[in-house]
Amino acid sequence: MELVQMQKSLQDYTKSLFLDGVLDSQFLQLQQLQDESNPDFVSQVVTLFFQDSDRILNDLSLSLDQQVVDFKKVDPHVHQLKGSSSSIGAQRVKNACVVFRSFCEQQNVEGCHRCLQQVKQEYYLVKNRLETLFKLEQQIVASGGMIPAMELGF
Amino acid sequence: MATKSMGDIEKIKKKLNVLIVDDDPLNLIIHEKIIKAIGGISQTANNGEEAVLIHRDGGSSFDLILMDKEMPERDGVSTTKKLREMEVKSMIVGVTSLADNEEERRAFMEAGLNHCLAKPLTKDKIIPLINQLMDA
């Protein structure tokens, strides 16, 4: 595939992430912080987010599977995931966590189980799409091209 | 004194010294990058207790302290109160969640904050505060 075509594909793919609400402007803020001194800043931050989130989701699954659910353990995990997803711009994960917290406040176990599934769904979606985004970027760099800057013109 | 514009941040020779207090490693990385991007240097503390120890042991002096609210060991409200009791004069900016209600934000401000910002932090949110520091 020609370089120009790859760059166009990347721009279109990135735009779709915003239009679908998977990412919000905070992700653009992260991209703007990336520079020559730290060219992998965004992927490093996102990788850390993936590692933390995998651990948190596992802990949440275990906590909610207990005979008696300890919401004092569940809520801080959801709070942390809400915070980290907000920090990288993973909008749908963040929104799902907001709903999750309200069920934690109500100590509604069934509601929390449903929310956990929703959070997992949104998380795996953003993870999958960001991994595809980074692969597209790597292909462009490997072909000797530059990653085009993303602008909020849509 | 003329108010410095956003573009003047790059011309400021004195490097801003910032303490970032947050229990989330992701936020620490991002906030450190923001501070570096605006020409400052930063040190981090993983919770409020560490922030207090940094001031107690090293007699450190920071231009700006970014203080997360929800932290283990010692939260942002308690840490801010303690630092003000220790006569720390730095600008302390609270970093809150949008989920925090007005009463919680007020309690945080009353602990001794100079300002409060909602997460997630961005350069655009921090630069006006830096300008204020420079004008002081």
- The distance of B58 to chain A (nearest Cα, Å) reads 30
Question: Side by side, which strands form the sheet with B17-21?
Answer: B41-45, B17-21, B64-68, B91-96, B115-118
Residue that has been written with the tokens 């992430």 in this structure? A17
Query: Which pLDDT belongs to residue B97?
Result: 82
Nearest to A75 by CA among A116, A45, A114: A116
Query: Which pLDDT belongs to residue A130?
Result: 97
Query: Which pLDDT belongs to residue B100?
Result: 72
Q: Is the minimum CB–CB distance between B33 and chain A shorter than 8 Å?
A: yes
Nearest to B68 by CA among B122, B120, B16: B120
Instruction: Name the residue of chain B whose CA is nearest to A99's CA.
Output: B99
Q: Is the minimum CB–CB distance between A134 and chain B shorter than 8 Å?
A: no
Query: Which pLDDT belongs to residue B119?
Result: 87
User: Quick one: pLDDT band at residue A78, thresholds 50, 70, 90?
Assistant: very high
Q: Is the minimum CB–CB distance between A88 and chain B shorter than 8 Å?
A: yes
The tens digit of pLDDT for each residue in A5-20 reads: 999 999 999 999 999 9
Joined tokens for residue A58: 């596992």
Residues of chain B with pLDDT under 50: 1-13
Record: contact B29-A98, CB cut-off 8 A? no
Record: contact A52-B25, CB cut-off 8 A? yes
pTM: 0.86
Report chain A residues whose CB lies below 8 A from the CB of B47: none
Query: Which pLDDT belongs to residue B8?
Result: 47
Instruction: Quickly count: other Cβ atoms within 10 Å of residue A67's Cβ.
Output: 4
Top residue of B24, B26, B31, B98 to mutate, by most chain A CBs within 10 Å, is B26
Burial (CB count <10 Å: 0-12, 13-18, 19+), residue B3: exposed
Query: Which pLDDT belongs to residue B115?
Result: 92
DSSP string, chain A: --HHHHHHHHHHHHHHHHHTTSB-HHHHHHHHH-BTTBTTHHHHHHHHHHHHHHHHHHHHHHHHTSSS--HHHHHHHHHHHHHHHHHHTBHHHHHHHHHHHHHHHTT-HHHHHHHHHHHHHHHHHHHHHHHHHHHHHHHHHHTT--PPPP----
Q: Is the minimum CB–CB distance between A87 and chain B shorter than 8 Å?
A: yes
Record: contact B119-A41, CB cut-off 8 A? no
Record: contact A87-B26, CB cut-off 8 A? yes
Burial (CB count <10 Å: 0-12, 13-18, 19+), residue B85: exposed
Query: Which pLDDT belongs to residue B41?
Result: 94
Joined tokens for residue A108: 């509604």
Report chain A residues whose CB lies below 8 A from the CB of B38: none
Q: Is the minimum CB–CB distance between A32 and chain B shorter than 8 Å?
A: yes
- The distance of A140 to chain B (nearest Cα, Å) reads 25
Residue that has been written with the tokens 């932090």 in this structure? B121
Q: Is the minimum CB–CB distance between B26 and chain A shorter than 8 Å?
A: yes
The tens digit of pLDDT for each residue in B2-29 reads: 344 444 444 444 688 999 999 999 999 9
The tens digit of pLDDT for each residue in A89-148 reads: 999 999 999 999 999 999 999 999 999 999 999 999 999 999 999 999 999 999 998 888
